[in-house]
Amino acid sequence: MNEPLNEPSNEPTNATNTPPDAGLPGTGWIGTGRMGFALAGRLLDAGHPLLVHNRTRARAEPLAARGAVIADRITDLAGCETVFTMVASSPDFAEVTLGEHGLLNGGTAPRVLVDCSTVDAEVSARVRAAADRKGTLLLAAPVSGNPGVVAAGRASFAVSGPEQAYHEVRPLLAALGTAVTYVGEGEAARLVKLCHNILLGVLAQSLVEVTVLAEKHGVPRAAFLEFLNSSVLASAFTRYKAPALVHLDFTPTFTTTLLRKDLDLGLAAARGAEVPMPIAAAVHQLVQVAVGAGHGEQDFAALLLEQARAAALTLVPESTEVDSGL
């Protein structure tokens, strides 16, 4: 059943959703890690001025050269009409919104808060309740893609929350990527993204398994992946992971630790709904093996290394040029 849009809270509030101070952008951005930086850059390149905050200011400062105004405090963004957040974890999302110096902990709050992170639905629901008390509409808008995909304009978003707010900010979301899908009220988008990332893990493990099998029988990785990426089984995912697998370059776009976090959340959601997920559970354990072996901060394509180790295969980088499809 759909929830009413922006249902008024029974709790009093002193908040006002006022326009930003004169001369400051009406759109704010919190979090400029790998993904946040790429996404914020897309908005700036599309001509949308931004007021940007990051816990480590130096990581946000390169955006100033592209037109962003850098804010030292999260509360500086409270007067923006719309604020985006892109952070690494559920505790981080709670901290930047509900913490002592959080966005929703002052007298003024934005009209719309759009969170692009992949976080726990329970934490999101808690933030949503606090936002409602402030008169702020929260949209969950987790993103599919990595920084390279974002830079190429090929990211996609699942969005849930008040449909009224979705239509208001859709032009901003459309500037971030090629596909924006409204999936319903409340935390529906959180579950959609977890399902997406469970499949991501399963596909990644399957891809490294068959790649190792082919190489163990003497087929170069570049040749096998060229064939695969020319077949009916090709996908944007298999194409853009091919260079990492061929060159053994595991510079992170999405770390193995973050994949483990999303598998944790997804399997917890499955348990809560009594949905068996035996394949995802097995992949979760293999991702844990990779993290335990020291690949946690590498790109999750490093699953290849543990698969090769298990098969007693010594890998060396191949110098063949590989098309990522991006």
In the chain, % of residues over pLDDT 70: 93
Q: Is the pLDDT of residue 3 over 50?
A: no
pTM for this one?
0.83
Domains along the chain with CATH numbers: 27-186 (3.40.50.720), 192-310 (1.10.1040.10)
* 156, β-bridge pairs: 144, 179
So what's the pLDDT on residue 15?
Answer: 36
**Angle at CA of residue 292, ends 298 and 256, nearest 5°:** 30
* pLDDT band at residue 68 under the 50/70/90 scheme: very high
Q: Is the pLDDT of residue 147 over 50?
A: yes
Give the separation between CA 74 and CA 68, rounded to whole angstroms: 15
Give the separation between CA 19 and CA 30, rounded to whole angstroms: 18
Give the separation between CA 151 and CA 141, rounded to whole angstroms: 18
Residue type, 189: A
Q: What residues contact 208, with CB distance under 8 A and at least 6 apart?
A: 245, 301, 303, 304, 307
Burial class of 225 by CB neighbour count within 10 A (0 to 12, 13 to 18, 19+):
buried
Q: Is the pLDDT of residue 320 over 60?
A: yes
Give the separation between CA 285 and CA 121, rounded to whole angstroms: 23
Q: Name which of 7-11, 179-183, 286-290 the model is least confident about.
A: 7-11
* pLDDT band at residue 24 under the 50/70/90 scheme: low
**Angle at CA of residue 84, ends 45 and 89, nearest 5°:** 120
Q: What residues contact 17, with CB distance under 8 A and at least 6 apart?
A: 81, 108, 109, 110, 111, 134, 135, 136
**Residues in the chain, total:** 326
Q: Is the pLDDT of residue 16 over 80?
A: no
User: Residue 176 to residues 16, 41, 45, 131, 150: CA-CA distances in angstroms?
Assistant: 28, 9, 10, 24, 7
So what's the pLDDT on residue 120?
Answer: 85
So what's the pLDDT on residue 23?
Answer: 57
Q: Is the pLDDT of residue 5 over 80?
A: no
So what's the pLDDT on residue 13?
Answer: 38
Encode 123-139: b = buried (16+ Cβ within 10 Å), e = exposed: bbebbbebbbbbbbbbb
Over residues 37-60, the pLDDT tens digits come to 999 999 999 999 999 999 999 999
Residue 129 CA to its chain's centroid (Å): 22
Residue 59 in contact with residue 33, Cβ under 8 Å? yes
**Angle at CA of residue 146, ends 76 and 203, nearest 5°:** 140
**Per-chain mean pLDDT for the chain:** 91
Q: Which of 305, 299, 315, 310 is nearest to 220 (CA)?
A: 315
